Amino acid sequence: MIPNISKNLAWLKRNPEILNGIQHGIERETLRVTSEGLITKTLHPKELGKALTHKWITTDFAESLLEFITPVDKNIRYSLAFLKDLHRYTARHLDHEKMWPLSMPCVIKNEDKITVAQYGKSNLGRFKNLYREGLKNRYGALVQTIAGVHYNFSLPIEFWQAWAGVKDVESGKVKISNSYLCLIRNYYRFGWVIPYLFGASPAICGSFLKNKKTTLIFNKTKGNTYYLPYATSLRMSDLGYTNNSQNDLNIIFNDFNSYVTSLNQAIYKPSKEFSQLGLKSKGQYIQLNKNILQIVNELYAPIRPKRLPKDDESPLNALWLSGIEYIEVRSLDINPFSAIGIDETQIHFLDLFLIWCLLTDAPKMTSQELCDSRRNWNRIVLEGRKPGQVISLGYGKKMQPFIEIGYQLFQDLIRIAEVLDGFGDAKYQDVCYQFFSMLEKPELTYSALVMDQILHQGITSYGLEMAEKYYEQLVKEPYDVITAAQFEEARLDSIKKQYIIERNNTESFEDYLYRHAGC
């Protein structure tokens, strides 16, 4: 039913030490909300520094949508402690506001009142702001307030030297990149297990629908809440951020050169729909360009290959010149049972699953198979806990019981866990058995547990209760790995860096826009 891993697993057992240097990074988004559960109208708090240049605390789409970013590190517990300190610091500097603990947004009465993130008057800041204005004009502001957790994962050079026979990252960029693309192909084929286990958005606030007709069920007893009984992650469904025009781009992850080439073509492919918007309205820019993708970040995907750009380099050029540096998993809902939106058991499972995706045979995908894999994902996010749910393992293949495929997957994951646990305790095996139980008992999944609470209380009441609980917890806890002095240094440094960027702004915005967005 699933690809064979035995040969590569035997190889891993002979070389377990090459996984010691796995690098992790976490990005968590969260809305700032009022005590009534409304999205805040205030600007990004000055006490948190400048969102353009702060290395840890920034904004995503809106001024009210915070984003926390941890440094890359090998130690999972350190990364989580760092993330928690960012939450502790922020909680201390919010003025009668709280951090919303759910992926789907709080009460938003007027979409037009959502303030797009502001980044100052430099060309870089105006570019980042205009990109978000483009998202608002293309898809609406409401859908951009959905929050998630992004998990960044990379393997050490020692792994690639043993696995792909490369000498170093520079000379081995194509081999390393192609291997990461193998991982991505298997993630598309089997990554539905992530929203099944960790999806935590089976319900939404009625304000999100804006009085549109819906197949969601209205919860008549508590609050303005709509839900689907077997849903796992409405965030990952068509209710979330999607771009139907991207379906025709034919971006497939079969090899590095063709992937980057197709992505480059997509960025410069005009869109009939977005061309009708125009570049300007009343003399002001309203989007970066008229193409299907304004920039590469607009590509909707549950997982992305990434490379950090240097200086003024574009993300796509960085990828083309230096290859894939790490993988960004984007299919994680906010974990409402954690004050920081994610916990250690999830990261251990993600590591296991991503290693499995890399080690398991990954035949090249056709566009039809990619579409079929998306249909599998859609079944799981909308009805993942439905008894007897079925999926297919390839275009044109017959439907099979989801639980049977899940059993086989976990058998492989447990074998990998045994290798990783050879260095000490049995934490990876414990995680496997913990989440394996959710296959037989879907009532133990995050979505089922949060559904029970939301249907009992209503989504706004539940979200506010958890937001208040975590706020009280965070403000009382001492910092763990970052000191108050370091936070202040980071804040002042962000102010200084933005000032320097703005002072050195000599190019016209039109020229900057042409160079970076082909406008």
Strand-pairing partners, residue 151, are 26, 329
Calpha distance 421→269 (Å, rounded): 48
Full-model pTM: 0.96
Residues 423-456: pLDDT tens digits?
A: 778 999 999 999 999 999 999 999 999 999 999 9
CA atoms within 13 A on the CB side of 39: 32
Strand-strand pairing, 225-227 and 203-205: antiparallel
Q: Which amino acid is at 504?
A: N
Distances (CA, A) of 12 to 6, 251, 329, 418: 10, 31, 23, 11
The secondary element (H helix, E strand) that includes residue 205 is strand 203-205
Q: Which of 192, 124, 150 is nearest to 30 (CA)?
A: 150
SS3 of residue 340 by DSSP: coil
With residues binned 3-state (H G I as helix, E B as strand, rest as coil), the percentages for the chain, rounded to 5, are: 50, 15, 40
Q: Which amino acid is at 484?
A: A
The DSSP 8-state label assigned to residue 115 in this structure reads P
The secondary element (H helix, E strand) that includes residue 468 is helix 459-476
The secondary element (H helix, E strand) that includes residue 23 is strand 23-33
**Rounded (5°) CA angle 227-229-234:** 50
- The pLDDT value given to residue 422: 85
Taking every pair of C-alpha atoms in the chain, what is the biggest distance, in angstroms?
Answer: 66
Calpha distance 158→12 (Å, rounded): 13
User: Using DSSP, how many helices (H) and how many strands (E) does the chain show?
Assistant: 17, 14
Residues 153-209: pLDDT tens digits?
A: 999 999 999 999 999 999 999 999 999 999 999 999 999 999 999 999 999 999 999
Calpha distance 128→155 (Å, rounded): 30
For residue 76, give both structure tokens: 């999972």
Mark the ranges of the chain whose per-residue pLDDT is less than 70. Answer: 241-248, 395, 518-519
- The pLDDT value given to residue 61: 98
Calpha distance 213→499 (Å, rounded): 48
- The pLDDT value given to residue 28: 98
Neighbour tally for 84: CB within 10 Å: 22
Neighbour tally for 424: CB within 10 Å: 7
CA atoms within 13 A on the CB side of 1: 18
> What domains sit in the chain, N to C, each tagged with a CATH number?
6-357+364-517 (3.30.590.20)
- The pLDDT value given to residue 241: 62
Calpha distance 348→257 (Å, rounded): 31
Cα 172–chain centre separation: 27
How many residues are there in the chain?
Answer: 519
H, E, C per residue of 126-172: HHHHHHHHHHHHHHCCHHHHCCCEEEEEECCHHHHHHHCCCCCCCCC
SS3 of residue 472 by DSSP: helix
Contacts of 141 (CB under 8 A, 6+ apart): 61, 62, 111, 112, 114, 116
- The pLDDT value given to residue 240: 76
- The pLDDT value given to residue 358: 97
Strand-strand pairing, 57-59 and 98-99: unpaired
Calpha distance 147→166 (Å, rounded): 38
